[in-house]
Amino acid sequence: MPISLASPSVKAPLGAAAAGRPGSCRATKAPLLPPARPGMDESSQTRATASRLPAGCAEIPPTQCPGTSFSVSVFQHMGDRKTQEDRFIVVPKLDPESPVQCAFFGVFDGTVGDFASENVKDLVVPQLVASANWQAARKAAAAGRPAEEQDNLLENAFRDMYRQADDALLARCAKYTQHYATCTSVTLLVVGDTLVFGHLGDSRIIVAKEDESGNRGQLIGEQMTEDHKPDLENERRRIEQCGGMVERLQNHSNKPFIRGGDFMMRKALGEQPMQLQYSRAFGAKDLKIFGLSNVPDVKIIRMGASPYRHVRFIILASDGLWDVLSSQQAAMIAQHAVEDGQSPAETLVRHALHEQARVKARADNITAVCIQFN
C-alpha cells in the first residue's frame, strides 16, 4: 500500500484545516488512499506553526526519507491571491514491498477554484497502482527483464494514470456541476535509479545535476518538461482540428489562449465559454471537445548514467515559480540554500515572491517540492 503525505484539503485558505494548526502539513488519509504512515517523524511533519506561516501556506521541512537515497522539502505560499488553489503530494514509499526505492511526487495547479487540484491529488496514486501496466512493470522488474521493456511499461502506466484520473475527475465535475474546474500537473516517479516525469500544462520539473566537464560541484539546471502552450505548432493543430481556436488576448499581455468554437458567438448566445492559457490539463470539460488534451508528455531518464551521472536535486513547481526563475537560477538557489542549512523549497518560493514584488507583479500561488539526492 502506498504511504503518503498530501497538502491539506482546504475550502478556506490553506492552513485553516489541519486540526486548527494553520499552515501545518500532516499525513492525511485521502479518500482513495490507505491511512498514511509516512517514514517521517511526527515532529518533522508538523513543525510549521501559525506563528511561522500565514494562511495559505504549507511546509514540509527538509526530511530524510528512511530507506531511500533522498530527502524532501516542500513549501507552498498563496502569494497575492485570495485562495490557495495549488495542491501537492509526497509518497516516499509508493511500494513498500519493492527491493529498491519507489516514490511518487506531484504538484497540481488549479484554475477556476481548487476543485480539480484537490481531487486530482487524491486520484493519481490509486489510478497508477491500479494500472495493469504498473503491475506488469513490477513483475518485469522482479524478473530482471530488459530496461527498455520496463521503461515502456512505466511510460504506459503513467499514461493510464493521467487518462483514468481525468475520467474520474470529469465524472466528479459532472456530479458537482464543476464544469470549468481544471488543473495542471507535474509528477515524478522514482524507481531505483529510474526517474519518470509526466506533465500537463505549464507547471515544470527541473533536474539539477553536476557538470560532467570537469567543474565538480557546479550545478546545471535542466528543464525536464515543455510548457503546453496553445500556440505551439502541434498544440494549435490539434485544437483547430477539434474545432477550437487559439487567440492572443491584449488584456492578458498578448498571451495565447485556447477557446472553444466561435467564442464570441457563444457569449452572445448567453453561454459562458471557457478559455485557458495552457493546452493540456485535467478537467475543463467545456474545452475537452475543442482540443484540450489529457495526454501527458512522459520522459524517462536514468541516474548514474551520463548525462545524469550526478543528479543532486529535482524540483517540481507550479508556474508561479517559473514565471520569475530560470532552471539555472533555481538549481543555484537550491544548492546555496542547502549549503546555508536552509530549506531549498522554502528558499526557492521566497526568492520567487521577492522577485515578483521587485517587478511589481501580482504573485501567483507558488508550490515547490524539492528532492535532494544524497
Residue 250 pLDDT: 79
Alpha-carbon 45 to chain mean position = 20
Residue 322 pLDDT: 98
The one-letter amino acid at 336: H
pTM of the model: 0.86
Phi, psi of 288 (to 5 degrees): -60, -40
Query: Could you give the CA distance from residue 57 to residue 274 in angstroms, rounded to a whole number?
Result: 29
Residue 360 pLDDT: 82
Residue 363 pLDDT: 84
Residues 71 and 338: beta-carbon distance below 8 Å: no
Residue 251's DSSP bridge partners are none
Phi, psi of 183 (to 5 degrees): -160, 155
Query: From the first residue on, what is the mean pLDDT of each consecutive set of 10 residues in the chain (374 residues)?
Result: 55 26 29 30 33 76 93 95 95 92 97 95 98 97 94 98 98 93 98 97 97 79 98 96 90 86 60 82 92 98 93 98 97 97 98 92 93 94
Residue 111 pLDDT: 93
- Please calculate the CA angle 71-67-41 and round it to the nearest 5 degrees: 65
Q: Spelled out in words, what is the top-level CATH class assigned to the domain 63-228+279-286+290-373?
A: alpha beta
Q: Would you list the domain boundaries of the chain?
A: 63-228+279-286+290-373, 233-277
